[in-house]
Structure 1
Amino acid sequence: MSKNFKMVATTMFGLEEVLATELKNLGAQDVKPGVRNVSFSGDKGFMYKANIALRTAIRILKPIKTFKVFDEEDLYNGLQKINWENHMTADSTFAIGAVVNSKFFTSNSHYISLKSKDSIADYFRHKYHKRPNVDLKHPDVKIHIHIQKDLCTVSLDSSGDSLHKRGYRTSTNIAPINEVLAAGLVLLSGYDGSSNFIDPMCGSGTILIEAAMIACNIPANINRPEFGFEKWEDYDEDLYYIIQDSLLKKIINPHHKIMGFDKAPSAVRKAKENIESANLTEFIGVHHVNFFNSIKEVFGPTTILFNPPYGERLNIDTEEFYKKIGDTLKHGYPGCKVWFITSDIQALKYVGLRTSKRIPLKNGDLDCRFVRYDMYEGSKKISKQE
């Protein structure tokens, strides 16, 4: 029987609690949120399950060694003490990623990766007179070095490529939203498929696809061509397909509408291509509509969630643009819960509506706010009395 071991799922700033909830719901043990990561325990089958199903994880790491480091020599020597033949052979290809946050290391992450590569290659050369080759694009084993203050944690990256690469996105617009962030926004909004869902500025359709996968309970990474663990020496293909089949059996059909608008015909076309690639065409409708000329046409409770242009993507009058968002919501979308993300935090005052929630997030290097507006039928005063 497979034994439990510690793992770490990395994520984006602001999504740690969302990821922790995902892990608990999936059956993880010892779940502890950190900064941009969540640690947990599970067995090999759960590692496969986490990679296939988690929506807000970027990587699933399996730590294999932790040791103290104060300089590059400590790093080199510490890596030499790991029994690397338990994880790879001299004929394997490998790649190393590094994250460094320590006053003891003035060198950058790239240099730390090179120093680590030299140590592992020398380990095999001294012991077996042959060294494994580096393959940055498609390695057999991906190794993750994390140095925090005086502590180095060496992990195997079970995901391979970042888990935001779902495998469904074939077409993109300028600055498309990251799939992990898109899923995080949908989960933060509380949307679970029990209401209508509208993305009124849908671009290439990422938010729509992530919302539909949540509504249908489709595993986030079911469309990926492969995971890193599939090349490991202990990969259990039968177990992998048992886990995958058990997740596929839990898929359901949504009972509410999921739809997107965009004023650009090219965006509508790209969204439809991506939705088809994700096998979700029957669940999502995309329409060539300018949000500012639209009104709510669906019956029942509705969640509106979007990623309007901001930062480098916004080449128009900020005050006018955000005022039009507020006016359109007020006059066209009564009774809706509205969420959107922006890095232009000052521009929110032009919306002319009071936020009921403001959640700090990061979109790449941009500091953002994910805000909620509750649109009442009639006046707010009358709605509260009712």
Structure 2
Amino acid sequence: MKDSLFVTCARGLEDILAEELKQILNSHPIVDKGGVHVHGKLKELYQINLLTRIGMHVLKPILELKSNNVNQLYDIVKSFNWSKIITKNDTFSIRTRVNSSFFKNSNIVTLKIKDAIVDRIRQETQARPSIDKNNPTYQLFVNIRQNHVKIYLNTSGEPLYKRGYRTKIHRAALNPCMAAALIRISNWNQKIPFYDPMCGSGTIPIEAAMLAYSIPPRFKRRSYAFKAWSSFDDNLFETCKKQSINKINYENDVSIYASDNTPNNLGLVENSLKILNLAGKIKTEVKDIVDFSPVSEKAVLITNPPHGHRMSREVALKRLYRNLGDVLKNKCKNYDAYIFSMNNVLSKCIGLRTKQKHILKNGKLDCRLLYFPIKEGKFQ
């Protein structure tokens, strides 16, 4: 457990995250459900928080145990020397995820763990730390599978999809970590153009631009949980941050296009680009999907069409997906097209046969990344 880290991600992205972390750390990550295990000390902890585009949290394992009931759980957790991590002046919170026949109520589990930690610290210091659910010094993540309990420190604080460049977002905006993963899955080489014809607030093309210009994903983010810890090494962190910023290259010759039929959405895109010093680096245009007419001979196209589940919108959305399919067939020959779909009924309206499907989880929603290599010829 010493020098071990667990980097979480959306389900279905574990192998993609492992590939990314192998490049960042030049190490050999171990894939697990919901994330990837890596070896790392402070330097690696800082590097991952700064550089992963796909990871959601960087967790540091603190305690691993087996327990069959809450009283036994309390005793084992209390036996750990918590005051070496959490002082009486600190605050902490606990988030618990339970999948167990031994522990039925996650709230009771959380309460017992909290009591054990507080009682142990009070036993040693005659004072107790406070709970702060909004802005704690330490966030503890507890994962229970049957009788196997793991307790982690969340080193990241807020999820790593909080990039720091958003002022406002579209209500159906895609998680930036997922957007970055879709781009990685596409194997876009940055030598051919990149299109998103239904870009919304621009998450996919912005992530593509940040990748193309080697901009660290949290270039504009300031807060991380580890900054408030006594173990924080400011000099080491600033060195890691400076190394990542020095790799930015705004001179790369890259063509990225983003269009949407709503002017306000493109206004959000432009605001984000200004914050990232990327003004003018993405060619934006107000355009409906039926009017989409790219000029590139070859390109990668990734888009996340609307996917509302309300019956009142179903007819209009089916028409939209049919229009998308027609555009791909008639205007995007020799393109590698990727459609991120959260609605299988709608995706069938595209009218093209997929070559590959990637099954992913976006929050609690089952999703598919559908790959359509568009070739010359007749379409059914």
Deviations 1:41-73 (A, max 9, x none): 112101100000001111111102111111111
Runs of 4+ in 1 over 3 A off after TM superposition: 311-314
Partner of 1:187: 184
Q: Which moved more, 1:324-333 or 1:112-121?
A: 112-121
Deviation at 1:293, TM superposition (A): 1.1
Partner of 2:341: 342
Alpha-carbon distance change, 4 to 240 in structure 1, aligned in 2, over 3 angstroms: farther
Deviation at 1:114, TM superposition (A): 2.5
Which letter maps to 2:243?
Answer: S
Which letter maps to 2:298?
Answer: P
Q: Which moved more, 1:237-246 or 1:110-119?
A: 110-119
Which letter maps to 1:190?
Answer: N
Partner of 1:140: 137
Distance in 1, Cα, partners of 2:331 & 2:195: 13
Q: Which runs of 5+ in 1 are unaligned?
A: 382-386
Partner of 2:50: 52
Which letter maps to 1:155?
Answer: Y
Deviation at 1:175, TM superposition (A): 1.8
Partner of 2:308: 311
Which letter maps to 2:241?
Answer: Q
TM-score (norm 1): 0.93
Distance in 2, Cα, partners of 1:252 & 1:326: 36
Partner of 1:269: 267
Q: Which moved more, 1:181-190 or 1:111-120?
A: 111-120
Deviation at 1:91, TM superposition (A): 0.4
Distance in 2, Cα, partners of 1:307 & 1:349: 15
Deviation at 1:380, TM superposition (A): 7.2
Distance in 2, Cα, partners of 1:278 & 1:350: 37
1:149 partnered with 2:149: no
Secondary structure of the 1:29 match is coil
Distance in 1, Cα, partners of 2:146 & 2:273: 44
Partner of 2:195: 198
Partner of 1:229: 226
Partner of 1:124: 121
Secondary structure of the 2:29 match is strand
Which letter maps to 1:37?
Answer: G
Partner of 1:242: 239
Distance in 2, Cα, partners of 1:4 & 1:224: 28
Secondary structure of the 2:305 match is coil
CA RMSD of aligned residues (A): 1.9
Alpha-carbon distance change, 240 to 272 in structure 1, aligned in 2, over 3 angstroms: same
Asked whether the equivalents of residues 4 and 44 of structure 1 are also in contact (C-alpha less than 8 Å), the reply is no
Partner of 2:35: 37
Paired positions, count: 376
Alpha-carbon distance change, 159 to 184 in structure 1, aligned in 2, over 3 angstroms: same
Which letter maps to 1:240?
Answer: F
Distance in 2, Cα, partners of 1:85 & 1:4: 18
Partner of 1:330: 329
Deviation at 1:230, TM superposition (A): 0.8
Distance in 2, Cα, partners of 1:74 & 1:133: 24
1:354 partnered with 2:356: no
Q: Which moved more, 1:121-130 or 1:305-314?
A: 305-314
Q: Which runs of 5+ in 2 are unaligned?
A: none
Deviation at 1:200, TM superposition (A): 0.6
Identical columns (%) = 31
